[in-house]
């Protein structure tokens, strides 16, 4: 069944395998008139690029994006925007061995069971390179949202046991640290922790937090297209994410109603919430306050320690995965979470425009 299309209005379809000729995405439903150039997208792709630090694989991936359609004289035309990134440095010989067994923690086994065989080169479609399409499309969504005053900021909240101290939150540190943490001290500790993991030929997990500001009230639809439900799907569809939270998240299970409810208050003619335990969404609809969500990311499954598994002849074997692999997925996944959040919001801002008959009457009376 088709599974590579996301969203209804600002709809994207991604394609491409780790070691195929290229990776790409088609964005269908982007409104006309958005200024868009390759630089707008390239900046996002560069943030997920490997080879940027000690804690990232030394693979060189150029990942240069090309806009193939959907813009004219620097503006989106309203028709599909096709974005492509050619795969440059993939060398199939590196991956010949993994054809012969199922890597623990990877999708090798499930792809074989589903499809009868698999493109084993670098994980094929289940590779992290698949996220290039998400990030490229997310960059366009984010640009559209910025026009409406909506901004999205994601960062690493924790790597293994090392968590950011939110009192030391420094937005510049996100881009400056290899961990994408908004806290230089925590980042240094996390780098040391990761160095320790690598010494033990092991890997680490972590937490990504994402904050969306400037969100108008009213986005999202009851009962299945709740904004938080769509954010959950978006984020949980990113490989290696095993849990998703909105607002106070898991903590609500031990809270009491009196402490968890956010009281409303009228201030200078505006209704605001005095706290934000809900994370900006009530009944699945944005309430105008900041949206806060978190993704829990598992440790990189590709580790260099010896592991038990089964080979293609059905025999139990002990293997050591070779190649170049990040000891932690989190820093490179930060921009992926940001992109997915942007895509969900882009769909929601469009979908919300028809929530009242009066909006349609206003629109079509102006148009005539």
Please report, as residue ranges, which positions from 128 to 147 form the binding site for a second copy (by CB under 8 A).
Answer: 130, 144, 147
3-state SS, residue 162: strand
The HSE-up count of residue 201 (CA atoms within 13 Å, CB side) is: 9
Nearer to a second copy, 49 or 226 (CB): 226
Q: Is 254 exposed, middle or buried (0-12, 13-18, 19+ CB in 10 A)?
A: exposed
Nearer to a second copy, 172 or 316 (CB): 316
Identify the CA nearest to 63 among candidates 40, 90, 88, 80: 88
Q: How far is the CB of 13 from a second copy (least distance, A)?
A: 5
Distances from the Cα of 108 to the Cαs of 91, 127, 278, 279, in angstroms?
A: 19, 10, 38, 36
Q: How far is the CB of 170 from a second copy (least distance, A)?
A: 22
Nearer to a second copy, 172 or 354 (CB): 354
Asked if residues 305 and 216 have their Cβ atoms less than 8 Å apart, the reply is no
In the shown chain, the binding pattern of residues 83 to 122 toward a second copy, with x for contact by CB under 8 A and - for none, equals -x-----------------x-xxxx-xxx-xxxxxxx-x-
- Kindly state the tokens that stand for 146: 């910025």
User: Can you tell me the distance from the alpha carbon of 131 to that of 318, in angstroms, rounded to the nearest whole number?
Assistant: 30
Residue 176 in contact with a second copy, rule: CB under 8 A: no
In the region spanning residues 287 to 326, those forming contacts with a second copy, defined by CB under 8 A, are: 287-288, 296-303, 305, 307-310, 314-316
In the region spanning residues 183 to 212, those forming contacts with a second copy, defined by CB under 8 A, are: 197, 200, 202-207
Location of structure tokens 């010494």? 199
- Residue 35 DSSP label: B
User: Can you tell me the distance from the alpha carbon of 81 to that of 156, in angstroms, rounded to the nearest whole number?
Assistant: 30
Choose, by CB under 8 A, the member of 37, 166, 175, 217 that binds a second copy: 217
Identify the CA nearest to 288 among candidates 363, 355, 337, 220: 220
Residue 237 in contact with a second copy, rule: CB under 8 A: yes
Which of 42-50, 178-186, 233-241, 331-339 is the region at the interface with a second copy (rule: CB under 8 A)? 233-241
Which of 48-56, 167-175, 184-192, 220-228 is the region at the interface with a second copy (rule: CB under 8 A)? 220-228
Choose, by CB under 8 A, the member of 50, 122, 138, 160 that binds a second copy: 160
Q: How far is the CB of 46 from a second copy (least distance, A)?
A: 22
Q: How far is the CB of 117 from a second copy (least distance, A)?
A: 7
Which of 6-14, 42-50, 166-174, 175-183 is the region at the interface with a second copy (rule: CB under 8 A)? 6-14
Query: Does residue 77 have a cis peptide bond before it, meaning omega lies within 30 degrees of 0?
Result: no
Nearer to a second copy, 23 or 173 (CB): 23
In the shown chain, the binding pattern of residues 19 to 58 toward a second copy, with x for contact by CB under 8 A and - for none, equals -xxxxx-x-xx-xxxx------------------------
Give the angle 145-146-150 at the CA atoms, nearest 5°.
Answer: 70
Nearer to a second copy, 173 or 350 (CB): 350
Q: How far is the CB of 9 from a second copy (least distance, A)?
A: 6
Asked if residues 195 and 203 have their Cβ atoms less than 8 Å apart, the reply is no
Residues 6 or more apart whose Cβ sits within 8 Å of residue 307: 104, 318, 319, 320, 321
Nearer to a second copy, 172 or 315 (CB): 315
Choose, by CB under 8 A, the member of 90, 177, 187, 286 that binds a second copy: 286
Identify the CA nearest to 109 among candidates 311, 358, 344: 311
User: Can you tell me the distance from the alpha carbon of 116 to that of 96, in angstroms, rounded to the nearest whole number?
Assistant: 18
Residue 172 in contact with a second copy, rule: CB under 8 A: no
User: Can you tell me the distance from the alpha carbon of 325 to that of 261, in angstroms, rounded to the nearest whole number?
Assistant: 44
Choose, by CB under 8 A, the member of 4, 52, 170, 276 that binds a second copy: 4
Q: What is the dihedral of CA 100, 105, 106, 107, to 10 degrees?
A: 100
In the region spanning residues 321 to 350, those forming contacts with a second copy, defined by CB under 8 A, are: 349-350
């Amino acid at each position: 069944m088709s599974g590579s299309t996301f969203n209804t209005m600002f709809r994207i379809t991604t394609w491409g395998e780790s070691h195929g000729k290229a990776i790409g995405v088609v964005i269908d439903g982007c409104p006309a008139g958005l200024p868009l150039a390759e630089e707008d997208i390239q900046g996002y792709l560069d943030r997920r690029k490997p080879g940027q630090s000690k804690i990232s694989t030394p693979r060189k991936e150029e990942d240069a994006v090309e806009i193939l359609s959907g813009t004219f004289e620097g503006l989106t035309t309203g028709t599909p925007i096709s974005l492509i990134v050619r795969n440059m440095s993939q060398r199939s010989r590196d991956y010949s061995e993994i054809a012969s067994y199922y890597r623990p923690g990877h999708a090798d086994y499930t792809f074989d069971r589903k499809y009868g065989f698999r493109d084993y080169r670098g994980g094929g479609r289940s590779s992290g390179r698949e996220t290039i399409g998400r990030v490229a499309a997310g960059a366009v969504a984010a640009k559209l949202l910025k026009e409406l005053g909506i901004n999205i900021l994601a960062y690493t909240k924790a790597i293994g046991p090392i968590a950011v101290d939110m009192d030391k939150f420094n937005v510049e540190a996100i881009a400056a640290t290899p961990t994408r943490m908004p806290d230089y001290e925590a980042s240094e500790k996390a780098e040391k922790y990761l160095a320790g993991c690598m010494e033990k030929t092991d890997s680490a997990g972590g937490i990504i937090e994402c904050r969306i500001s400037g969100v108008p009230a009213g986005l999202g639809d009851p009962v299945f297209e709740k904004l938080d439900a769509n954010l959950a799907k978006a984020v949980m569809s990113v490989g290696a994410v095993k849990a998703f939270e909105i607002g106070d998240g898991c903590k609500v299970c031990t809270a009491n109603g009196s402490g968890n409810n956010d009281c409303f208050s009228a201030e200078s003619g505006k209704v605001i919430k005095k706290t934000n335990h809900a994370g900006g969404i009530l009944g699945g609809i944005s309430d105008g306050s900041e949206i806060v969500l978190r993704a829990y990311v598992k440790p990189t499954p590709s580790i260099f320690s010896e592991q038990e598994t089964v080979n293609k002849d059905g025999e139990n074997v002990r293997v050591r995965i070779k190649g170049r692999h990040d000891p932690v997925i989190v820093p490179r996944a930060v921009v992926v979470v940001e992109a997915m959040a942007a895509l969900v919001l882009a769909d929601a801002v469009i979908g919300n425009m028809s929530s009242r008959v009066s909006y349609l009457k206003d629109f079509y009376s102006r148009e005539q």
